[in-house]
Structure 1
Amino acid sequence: MLMKKYLTPEIKAALEKLTTRSGWSLKKAIRSGVENPDSSIGIYAGDSESYRVFSPLFDPLIRDYSRYDMSGHPSDFSLDGLPAKNLDPEGRFVISTRVRVGRNLAEYAFPPAIRAEDRARMEAEILDVLSELTGGLAGEYHRLSEMTEERRQEMVDGHLLFKQGDRFLESAGVNRDWPQNRGIYHSSDRRFLVWVGEEDSMRIISMQRGADIKAAFIRLKAALDHIHSRLEFACDEILGFHTTCPTNLGTAMRASVHIRIPFLSQRPEFEGLCEKLGLSIRGIHGEHSDPSDGIHDISNKRRLGVTERDIYQTLYRGVETLIEWESNLMGRATSRRQAAA
């Protein structure tokens, strides 16, 4: 766990009596790691100020995880000149593509520390902005507190809606006041979503069936251009966009595919290959879940110190390589079966 690696007795003594304006303390920040010793990170920010007040702990942890020298976070969402063809037009491998970013509003504490009355005000401000979206981004908002259990479960099963936070987020305080002032906005075709009040104040998502990665990125950028013009987000030039979990700092972007690779994923070199490609591996039901029927969730590992353009290239090249390897392994398996027949 990175928190334990860098929480020396000297740093603990220097930080344990400090608090941010929203009341976030070292004890609250590390509570999830203390209660969940299998956590890989073990620390959360309660507000933007956390990254300054507790920087002797956060900074080395961020450098380690993100391989980042704190020299300044760049931004470039242009995709001009990059490959754009659909890598799997027949749908043999890639089931869906999803690109999301996390955002926290500069005015408010983050979900682990926000007060109930502020959560209500923030939800109203976000909905005002989302109501202005037009065209393919226009949609409707559904509050979790007003959903039937059947409707909620249907949306969770369809990978549209977030669930109450897992034990890591529970310990961090993200689930407080559940499910009040939380909800989902989605376009009529459900290719554009905004989660309000999950791990970060907003999770802004572009998703679709198949492997058209560029289309998902372009849709997300169009939405962000409007939302960024109307809301002020917690960010700075060094850490990029501030997020509850320090692993999401920077672009706060996770670009992923659900990809069917049963042959490759059984190979001992699979994890090493993904690491070399700059990719992370999850199960299809999110972090800490397992793969199903050879289907894995594959996404960019780095978010900080890289641009959105870099992330597009990482995912595109990664998916292209995984499909090539899986195709070769499928071909070998077929040849063996034919030879044995």
Structure 2
Amino acid sequence: MTKRRYTQDALSEWMKGEGPDSDVVISSRVRVARNLRHQPFPMLATNEQSAEVLGKLTDVSLAGRLEPFGSFETVLLSDISELDKRVLVEKHLISPNLANESRAGAVILSENEAVSIMINEEDHLRIQCLYPGFQIGEAWALASGIDDTFEEAADYAFDENRGYLTACPTNVGTGIRASIMMHLPALVLTQQINRILTAVTQVGLTVRGLYGEGSEALGNLFQISNQITLGQSESEIIENLHGVAKQIIEHERSARKRLLEESRMRIEDRVRRSYGILSHAVIMDSKEAAQRLSDIRLGADLGLLEEVTPQMLNELLVMTQPGFLQQTFDEKMSPEQRDYRRAELIRKQLSGQFDHGGAGI
């Protein structure tokens, strides 16, 4: 396995399975933030201190302690290009914060990319576990097991009253962020989404876009996650998110059923128009691409469009991002050139002509 594989393939192995409730839920993620005792937080650390943290945490993998959870490889951020870093961000394998880290940053990746362990990000250690579909409990179980392994080898910064200590006060306590990525086009089309999201925020959860805090909910993709990490146990956080997500899934399916019963021709027309435009457009900006891909994903889930598969659409979510486009076509691009290449790539992917071994041209 080469490190380049992590940036060359748009779809991580873990995303090739659909998972439970995959018609609405794209993925489930748990992220655990930890820091080492007697070491300053990364933002205050010297180069020597950051290197010391890096060595101590990567030794856990090198010593084979992570083998019960699969095969892992350590990627030093200093060893890869800025473009490779951008692609890892687009695949959700590292955060933008880690990509911009100029000191001893690294990521330990599992072979199937379901586990991403970031070192010297905002915190010394961030363990991220991703599952396809609605599997937040499974993601937490895996993250907890890996966390226990690191805790056996490292002395965590922990306070009896406050819990795990983190660089950002909003993560103090359990240090976990659990999130579920959901595709909610019917709630948007029936104008119920604002009411639903307002209710979500009233029960201690928050809503973000595809790339987390500060990002827009493009393509009707919403990330629902816990906002509270202090005062609740890990199991309470997971159970609360699970219960709310289950209700949102039911509301989305009910809205889809209503659309089919009351506006079937209009929905089918919308889906087919978007499919036609994506199949023939010469230029396509990222915002329009996300919306039209959302339309055809809805059409596929409703049985109105048999020409596409969920895996193809998951792949296009990454393939149409700026970094991956430049990686695929091996060229630096202006925004207009990216729009041209994005449209070309989508056309080829939908027609089955895209060559995954290269740019397909």
- The two structures have a TM-score, normalised by structure 1, of 0.67
Instruction: Choose from 56, 81, 99 the match for 1:148.
Output: 81
* Structure 2 unmatched runs, 5+: 1-17, 268-361
- The amino acid that maps onto 1:163 is P
Q: How big is each residue's C-alpha offset from its partner over 1:297-341, in whole Å with a ceiling of 9 and x where there is no partner?
A: 111121101001101101110110100111112222222215989
SS in structure 2 opposite 1:274? helix
SS in structure 2 opposite 1:97? strand
Matched, 1:250 2:173: yes
Instruction: Choose from 235, 248, 252 the match for 1:322.
Output: 248
- The amino acid that maps onto 2:226 is N
Distance 2:125 2:151 in 1: 12
Instruction: Choose from 208, 221, 225 the match for 1:282.
Output: 208
Distance 2:21 2:75 in 1: 34
Equivalent residue, structure 1, for 2:326: none
SS in structure 1 opposite 2:200? helix
Instruction: Choose from 219, 222, 226 the match for 2:145.
Output: 222
Equivalent residue, structure 1, for 2:35: 104
Instruction: Choose from 128, 135, 144 the match for 1:205.
Output: 128
Higher deviation after alignment, 146-155 or 92-101: 146-155
Instruction: Choose from 120, 130, 141 the match for 2:51.
Output: 120
Distance 1:197 1:281 in 2: 26
- The amino acid that maps onto 2:66 is L
Instruction: Choose from 100, 104, 121 the match for 1:181.
Output: 104
- The amino acid that maps onto 1:261 is L
How far off is 1:152 after superposition? Answer: 2.0
Q: 4+ residue stretches of structure 1 with deviation over 6 A?
A: none
Inter-CA distance 339–124: structure 2 relative to 1 (3 Å threshold): closer
Equivalent residue, structure 2, for 1:270: 196
How far off is 1:136 after superposition? Answer: 2.7
Residues 98 and 120, structure 2, Cα contact 8 Å, conserved in 1: no
Residues 185 and 193, structure 1, Cα contact 8 Å, conserved in 2: yes
Distance 1:115 1:244 in 2: 16
How far off is 1:294 after superposition? Answer: 0.7
Distance 1:299 1:136 in 2: 25
Distance 1:118 1:340 in 2: 60
Distance 2:82 2:43 in 1: 25
Inter-CA distance 221–107: structure 2 relative to 1 (3 Å threshold): same
Q: Which has the higher helix share?
A: 2
Residues 137 and 192, structure 1, Cα contact 8 Å, conserved in 2: no
Matched, 1:298 2:196: no
Q: How big is each residue's C-alpha offset from its partner over 1:15-60, in whole Å with a ceiling of 9 and x where there is no partner?
A: xxxxxxxxxxxxxxxxxxxxxxxxxxxxxxxxxxxxxxxxxxxxxx
Identity fraction in percent:
29
Residues 209 and 218, structure 2, Cα contact 8 Å, conserved in 1: yes
How far off is 1:179 after superposition? Answer: 2.0
SS in structure 2 opposite 1:305? coil
Residues matched between the structures, number = 245
- The amino acid that maps onto 1:96 is S
Q: How big is each residue's C-alpha offset from its partner over 1:224-277, in whole Å with a ceiling of 9 and x where there is no partner?
A: 121111111111121111111101110110000110112335423123211234
Inter-CA distance 325–277: structure 2 relative to 1 (3 Å threshold): farther
Residues 99 and 255, structure 1, Cα contact 8 Å, conserved in 2: yes
How far off is 1:137 after superposition? Answer: 3.8
Residues 105 and 201, structure 1, Cα contact 8 Å, conserved in 2: yes
How far off is 1:88 after superposition? Answer: 6.7
Equivalent residue, structure 2, for 1:159: 92
SS in structure 2 opposite 1:263? helix
- The two structures have a TM-score, normalised by structure 2, of 0.64
CA RMSD of aligned residues (A): 2.2
Distance 1:205 1:339 in 2: 42
Residues 130 and 227, structure 1, Cα contact 8 Å, conserved in 2: no
Equivalent residue, structure 2, for 1:136: 69
Matched, 1:259 2:177: no
* Structure 1 unmatched runs, 5+: 1-86, 167-174
- The amino acid that maps onto 1:328 is S
